[in-house]
Structure 1
Amino acid sequence: MAGPSSLLLTDDERSRKFLRGALSCQGFSVAEASSGDEGIQQFSPELFQLVVVDLQLPDMKGLEVLRHIKRLSPGTAVVMISDSGEAATILQAMRLGACDYFLKPVKEAGLINGVICRIAEEENLAQQNREYREALEHRNIELRDHVELLRRDQEAGRLLQQHLLPRTPYSYPGGIEAAYRLIPSLYLSGDFVDYGLFGERFVAFYLVDVSGHGVSSALVTALIKHSIMHRLSERPLFTQLELLGNDLLEILELINRELLSTHMGKHASMFVGVVDTAARQLHYAVAGQIPMPALASNGGADWLPGKGRPLGIFERGDWQVMCAELPSNWRLVVCSDGVLELLQGDLLEKEARLLQLIAGSEGELSSLCQSLKVDTFGALPDDITILTLGHD
């Protein structure tokens, strides 16, 4: 493998002879020129790693040669040869990109070797930096590709999750309308809602809020949807009045077991209910729901009573099935806890303000979303879901 090449430009025979020997000892092949024009003709950035230029050449100043070389190849190391009285010119050469200089008479081999070694070290460092930048750029390209792939995967996941959600709004026999607004803080949401008509009189529904954000939480919502649909395929639920309480508890126990068995460290809050359109009653159960659902009617709103532990933490949740009588005109509003992040104050103040907004909007979804400014809030700190059911 050929060693490094150098170009020596000087008409000083003594300096040329000494430098030729010193460069050769350092492993350089040496090309020579006695004038600036001859040196410029010989110079090629791909050929020479080091150029030694006399400031005083017979046809031009060494600074002109330096300028020409730096225009062609800014990274090429250039060392100047100078008389001791040319301090100002040496300083100008250093400003133009020369990396060092030798003073005539050139006769100290140790000094020359030291300069050449330093230049070699700097070149090695520069080469390492170039390799590092190239590797970093390659990594950046790979990272951008991975981010784009992740974005496409998340977008596909978002579309799939939207496909699993029910239509909104949706009207059922008996004048019941269900609607929701679900806004994920990321591509995918840990919130999920569903509703459906069972038999001719029962509208069942739920809102679940899985802990965390993003893909893992969204996968859990898909698991919950699948588990409920699988149970419904095994046997009918929400078709007999006397069994509604048992059916609600069965849903909570089912999801609790599923979350515990996954060992993903995920838990969830859930509100599940059934509207009996014939008897105008709401049967429901609460599992760690914050804020509590609110029932709006006659220009006012109140929190529904009830309690129960979140899902996926305890073997038993001590859930209670509650029943509320429904007036002729009513709206039920169920919110995930992300809604509270849109309000100011401590928890009690936020809940009081939310209840006030629900009453002011009479539980109507679009009006409530406008009051909460969900579309203009900016970056959302949490998934936000509002589910409403009502009869006007």
Structure 2
Amino acid sequence: MNTISDARTQEPAAATAVAGRHTLLLSDPGEPSYEVMCATLKRLGYTVIHEESGVDAIGHFSPDKYDLVITDLHLPDMGGLEVLRKIKRLSPDTPVVVLACNSEVDDVVQALRLGASDYLLKPFTDEDVIEHAVTRIMEARDLAAQNREYRHQLEERNRELHEHIELLQRDHEAGRQLQQHLLPRTPFRYPAGIEAAFRLLPSLYLSGDFVDYGLFGERFVAFYLVDVSGHGVSSALVTALIKHSIMHLLRERTLFSQLNSIDTDITSILEMINRELNSTALDKHASMFVGVVDSRARQLHYAVAGQVPMPALVTSDGARWLTGKGRPLGLFKQGEWEVRHCSLPASWRLVACSDGVLELLSGDLLQKEAKLLEVINRSRGDLDSLCAALKVDTAESFPDDITILTLRQDNP
């Protein structure tokens, strides 16, 4: 820091001490303790700026000039307590030491209440007492300054972090809206009398689950539910990749238009997505349920790829799991998928769930599947009733993405 100029008292700092520190000493140079104080401070590396007048000292004081202020309680023009008050008002962080006699205990107590860092009792002849007090005070001052700097840096980092979080949330919200835009309308009723609907609830902003359905020709309603491993942005991007790949395949080939090619079309979709996931470096795999309802022949063609839980068919006889097997997509070159067929009555419901639904139930996997089938049976495959029974619309958060896809056809 700079100094209040007093050529009579400025001397070079000791070579072994901390350089660049300045102390303002307000004391009577005629007192015996004065020389001891000056000698100790200079040995510690301080440039001592001496003032006898409190008014002059306060007039020249500024917070950036002094590391330490030492003031006698008795000055010719004002008391040391008043000097302490004014210094603390100008610079609360500047440490102040008061010099007092044994008889001034009450004033010492008052000085400590006003913010004095320490006090020294006169007369003193032992430099170690002064050195100990000054060293302790300055170490505490340096530590406090470091803490303030660390706190400032932490606040700055927190501010930057909040800005990044807000930006990330805006990006996620934009991604969520885009993903919602890619989903089909729900519910949607086709001319064939088949109604498709779904509920998709992501555990984060974006979902690793995805559904889609569409009418091909006048009799075939094709649909799928896919559950990509993981959560968040990377999984959501894979769902977009899957939809894009399927749409690209539909543009290249005429799918789901001929009864004799339905099974081959379903297998083609699974093989294509399996290749896509294996060719990426995203380390993602997926389970999938793909189906086609032939409304004229009242038959369901379907295949599963690592689907847990299995889809359930609800008829007048109750709810039952469909059968089938096939490896998840993205883990093996060949999935050994098989297309199965199921005859449909005049009225039926089909329910497919992602595995996040099982997290809403208690017990081991078999117990959870049994409870889910019971809930599906009680709800008769109705989407709103099923969601109400599982409380998916009222829960605040989920450990995993939850998707329920339903298709239904009623006897006219």
TM-score (norm 1): 0.92
What count of residue pairs does the alignment treat as equivalent? 391
Matched, 1:338 2:356: yes
Work out the CA distance in 1 between the residues paired with 2:51 and 2:107.
23
Cα-to-partner distance string for 1:63-101 (whole Å, 9 max, x where unaligned)? 343234334322111111122444564455345432233
In structure 2, the partner of 1:328 is 346
Gaps of 5+ in 1: none
Structure 1 position 244 matched with structure 2 position 265:
no
User: Which amino acid is 1:32 matched to?
Assistant: E
Aligned 8 A contact 1:299 1:362 in 2: no
Using the alignment, how far apart are the partners of 1:277 and 1:188 within structure 2?
A: 34
Letter in 2 for 1:227: S
Q: 1:57, CA displacement in angstroms?
A: 3.7
Compute the displacement of 1:174 (Å).
Answer: 1.3
Deviation at 1:242, TM superposition (A): 0.9
Does residue 33 of the first structure (1) align with residue 52 of the second (2)?
Answer: yes
> What is the alpha-carbon distance in structure 1 between the residues aligned to residue 399 and residue 365 of structure 2?
16
1:1-392 map, 5 Å: 2=2, 3-11=20-28, 13-14=30-31, 15-20=33-38, 22-24=40-42, 26-34=45-53, 36=54, 39-58=57-76, 61-87=79-105, 89-109=107-127, 111-298=129-316, 300-392=318-410
Q: What is the TM-score with the length of structure 2 in the denominator? A: 0.88
Give, in whole Å, the separation in 1 of the partners of 2:317 and 2:26: 97
Tell me which amino acid in the other structure corresponds to 1:292: M
Deviation at 1:41, TM superposition (A): 4.5
Using the TM superposition, give the Cα deviation of residue 282 of structure 1 relative to its aligned residue in structure 2, in angstroms. Answer: 0.3
Relative distance call for 1:265 and 1:219 in structure 2 (3 A) is same
CA distance in 1, matches of 2:194, 2:399: 32
Q: Could you tell me which amino acid in structure 2 is paired with residue 168 of structure 1?
A: T
For residue 60 of structure 1, report the CA deviation from its aligned partner.
Answer: 5.2
Question: Distance between the aligned counterparts of 2:204 and 2:192, measured in 1?
Answer: 37
Give the counterpart letter for 2:372 in structure 1.
L
Confirm or deny: 8 A CA contact 2:192 2:218 kept in the other structure: no
Per the TM alignment, residue 221 of structure 1 is displaced from its structure 2 partner at its CA by 0.6
**Quick one: distance in 2 between partners of 1:299 and 1:360?**
12
Are the counterparts in 2 of residues 299 and 359 from structure 1 also a CA contact under 8 Å?
Answer: no
Aligned partners of 1:264 and 1:5: how far apart in 2?
A: 61
**Distance apart, 1:217 and its partner CA:** 0.5
Secondary structure of the equivalent of 2:200? strand
Partner of 2:5: none
SS at match of 1:143: helix
Question: Is the Cα contact below 8 Å between 1:295 and 1:302 reproduced in 2?
Answer: yes
Which is worse superposed, 305-314 or 280-289?
305-314
Q: What amino acid is the match of 1:382?
A: D
CA RMSD in angstroms comes to 2.2
Is the Cα contact below 8 Å between 2:212 and 2:223 reproduced in 1?
yes
Of the structure 1 ranges 321-330 and 311-320, higher mean CA displacement relative to structure 2 is found in 311-320
Q: Secondary structure of the residue that 1:333 maps to in structure 2?
A: strand
Measured after TM superposition, the shift of residue 169 of structure 1 is 1.1
Shift of 1:160: 1.1
Q: Which amino acid in 1 is paired with 2:288?
A: M
* Identical-residue share of aligned pairs (%): 64
Distance, in Å, in 1 between the alignment partners of 2:55 and 2:201 is 72
Matched residues in 1 for 2:285 and 2:21: separation?
A: 67
Contact map agreement 1:7 1:33 (CA 8 A) in 2:
no
In the alignment, what sits opposite 2:17? none
Superposed CA offset, 1:32-60 (max 9, x none): 034x5554444433443321111234565
**Contact preservation (8 Å) 1:9, 1:32:** yes
Where does structure 2 lack aligned partners over 5 or more consecutive residues? 3-19
The corresponding residue for 2:9 is none
